[in-house]
Amino acid sequence: MTQLIKEGLMDQIYNILRQRIINLQLKPGAKIDIGKIATEFDISETPIRDALKKLSKDGLVKIESRRGYYVVKLSKRDIEEIYDLRKLLESYAFSSSINNIKSSELDELRDMWINMKNKGKHRIDPQEFYLTDQEFHLKIVKRCENHWLQNIFFQIYDLVRICQHMYMDIKSALDEHIAIVDAIKEKDIDKAKKLLELHIDRAKKRILRSMEKLEENIDE
């Protein structure tokens, strides 16, 4: 059991629940059992409710009057809007951030992706890939030096991460990342930007296609 310190209980619970939602330990649409969490950490329900209210502002939790708190469950329209906004923000950030990302950083990421690819589809550690994917995309946004853009991007990125854990095609994403970095190293920034936009569009399509297949199986 995770040990909590007495000070800052709300923030600690917030971070724990946030990670459980992103990693799908708490399933989309599931009701959140406040009493169970209180028992798990041996605390009162107050910091838990405060954490859930904060998570609701992040879009990760839905509050239903007289019913309780529920993990967000994204619709097809939600995903389309999130990924369209992501593409706009990340593509814009790329233009100014690319000169602020060191070649050595890109080389390190590329080597990691090549090593993953060489392991073969069934031997790739998904968590390792998620971390390198996150590092790459957050570098693009953090290095653009536009704090307003960063704030908006970070508001939606946890929702992007939920989609990735549910529907990520790691092999395709690896190939796309490597192609983007290769274009950057070739100094073909226009090509790299187009490949980045195509990568995000393809990710959106793969997610929507996976959702449709899942719905078809449920209907059957």
Asked whether residue 2 is assigned to any structural domain, the reply reads no
pLDDT for 154: 93
- Domain region containing 34: 9-71
67 plus 172 within the same structural domain: no
Residue type, 190: D
In terms of pTM, does the model score above 0.85?
Answer: yes
Q: pLDDT (tens digit, 9 = 90+) per residue, 85-106?
A: 999 999 999 999 998 999 999 9
Alpha-carbon distance of 52 to 203, in angstroms, equals: 29
Alpha-carbon distance of 216 to 214, in angstroms, equals: 5
144 plus 92 within the same structural domain: yes
- Choose among 207, 205, 214: nearest CA to 165: 207
Q: Report residue 7 CA to chain centroid gap.
A: 28
In this predicted structure, the answer to whether residue 220 has a pLDDT above a threshold of 70 is no
Asked whether residue 4 is assigned to any structural domain, the reply reads no
Alpha-carbon distance of 9 to 65, in angstroms, equals: 25
Asked whether residue 1 is assigned to any structural domain, the reply reads no
Domain boundary among 71, 93, 115: 71
| CATH code where residue 102 lies | 1.20.120.530
Within 10 angstroms of residue 102's Cβ, the number of other Cβ atoms is 10
